[in-house]
Amino acid sequence: MTQIPASKANPNKASSYAQHVATLVSKYAQLLAEGQSVLIHSGSEQHYFGDDRGIVFQAYGHFAHWLPVNRPDQFVLVKAGDTPRYFQVVPQDFWYDQSLQIDAELEPVIHEVFDVVQLSSIEEVAEQADLTVCDYLGPNTAWAAAQGISPAKLNAPALLAPLDFARAVKTEYEIEQLRYANQQGLVGHAAAAECFLAGGSEYEIHNAFLQACSLLEYETPYTNIVGLDANAAVLHYQHKSRVRVSNAQLLLIDAGSRVNGYGSDITRTTPSQHCHPVMDSLITGMEALELAIVESVKPGVPYPTLHDQAIAGVASLLVEHGIAKVAKTELVERRIAHAFMPHGVGHLLGIQVHDVGGHQRSASGGRIEPPAHSPALRTTRMLSEDMVFTVEPGLYFIPMLLDPLRAGDAREVLNWPLIDELIPSGGIRIEDNIRVTATGAENLTRG
């Protein structure tokens, strides 16, 4: 089995993290008025209704932006001009191991750049600061209100809008975590493809991915999508069938790894020797299309133009492969190509797999709606340096979307006998993670 490259990560991780925190300190200082302070909460543990079983915890994004600590009831208190304070709640407990599991290279830096205050319960937080004057960012607004924080200061849009907007642009530290999450993810993808070509079931392929990345399932940045053949045409297909499919045609796997809270989001489509030759050729075409879209990335490009390029590319492939019998411009204008790619070309990526602020017009708020023909497009931002997002064109044969075309006036435009041959082959998606550079793009997945 391929080994994960041992800390091929970043020799400057400690200093780049310190710089990252310094960047956040100055960002918050710009936003906070004189004397204003904000308490950022990772969140509190949740339980299933009527049950004492906890739901897998995921720290709130604006907390995770400060600290690589995925734990309930951790707090950062920020006040302009002061060293940020980290209230590190570690309960006394003999049911669970409460030790913090922080990246060994980063832990000493945390003690340098934060004023770390160790507490044993959330009740002690109020003894550390006058919470009644704080703003609160986080999910447990009931707790915050009980501390005397006024409703207007709970997740106030005037703070959230600029913070969400800024998250799209990454620091050097964040880019390094994303690079390493991509390196790890690729090791998993290689193991998954190998397992598929050896005849593995979706379940076996899923486990091959996790094992190669050394991940527990709840540590992945999102639920792995592992689809053989027609299952590849279910965009967020969630099952992992234990059944081995003899002579399976293709594997679509959308899976990533996570490093210090930053996730990669990678999709690969691998044909077997049993793949329908047209589908096999479409996979090659979609790989080329994905790389061509990445070539278009540079500062100042509106993200929706990448989406338009994807739809036009899908239309070309449909024509070239005899699936459509009219010009590609007609397929785009009549929104026929869109039925073969019913999702957006990608989304912002970082702490959250669909990172915040994708439709935001400016730091102060507002919204840029996706185009009417592609309501699922998750990013409408203008590209700028160090923004990180996915590029993930897809081409699928989804009966639910094709049936209305077959019944309507697009009937004559498409080659239905060929489409019926290709429906059992499912679909294709190719997805890389891209950083905008000063003049173009860095492909974090293929770098």
Q: Contact positions toward Mn ion, by CB under 5 A? A: 265, 390
Between 18 and 235, name the residue whose CB sits nearer to Mn ion: 235
Categorise residue 424: left if φ over 0, alpha if ψ from -120 to 50, beta otherwise: alpha
What Rg value do the Cα atoms of the chain yield, rounded?
24
Shortest Cβ 390–Mn ion spacing (Å): 4
The three-class DSSP label of residue 145 is helix
Name the residue whose CB lies closest to Mn ion.
265
* Least separation in angstroms between CB 213 and Mn ion: 17
Residue 223: CB minimum distance to Mn ion, A:
12
Could you tell me the smallest distance in angstroms from the CB atom of residue 222 to Mn ion?
8
Of 225 and 405, the one with the shorter C-beta distance to Mn ion is 225
Distance between CA atoms of 246 and 273, rounded to whole angstroms? 12
Q: Which is nearer to Mn ion, 352 or 390 (CB)?
A: 390
With b for 16 or more beta-carbon neighbours within 10 A and e for fewer, the 188-198 pattern comes to: bbbbbbbbbee
Task: With beta carbons less than 8 A apart as the criterion, state whether 159 and 38 touch.
Answer: yes
* Cβ proximity to Mn ion, 198 vs 376, nearer residue: 376
CB of 304 to Mn ion, least distance (A): 16
- Asked if 73 contacts 42 with a C-beta cutoff of 8 angstroms, the reply is yes
Of 386, 176, 384, 347, whose CA–CA distance to 254 is shortest?
347
Is residue 299 within 8 Å of 386, Cβ to Cβ? no
Of 390 and 443, which CB lies nearer to Mn ion in the complex structure? 390
Cβ 349 to Mn ion shortest distance, Å: 7
Structure tokens at 279: 């589908």
Q: How far is the CB of 266 from Mn ion (least distance, A)?
A: 8
| Closest CB 391 distance from Mn ion, rounded Å | 9
Distance between CA atoms of 294 and 288, rounded to whole angstroms? 10
To which H or E segment does residue 439 belong?
A: none
267 vs 425, beta carbon nearer Mn ion: 267
> Least distance from C-beta 433 to Mn ion, angstroms?
9
**β-strands 360-362, 74-79 pairing:** unpaired
Q: Which is nearer to Mn ion, 143 or 222 (CB)?
A: 222
Q: CB–CB of 270/250 below 8 Å?
A: yes
β strands within 90-184, DSSP E: 115-119, 135-137
d(CA 411, CA 423): 16
Q: Smaller CB distance to Mn ion: residue 73 or 265? A: 265
Nearer to Mn ion, 268 or 321 (CB): 268
Q: Residue 56: what residue type?
A: V
Burial of 216 (0-12, 13-18, 19+ CB in 10 A): exposed
| Cα 37 to Cα 82, 85, 160, 283, distances in angstroms | 10, 11, 14, 52
Identify the three-state secondary structure at position 64: helix
CB of 347 to Mn ion, least distance (A): 6
Please identify, using beta-carbon distances, which residue of 195 and 388 lies nearer to Mn ion: 388
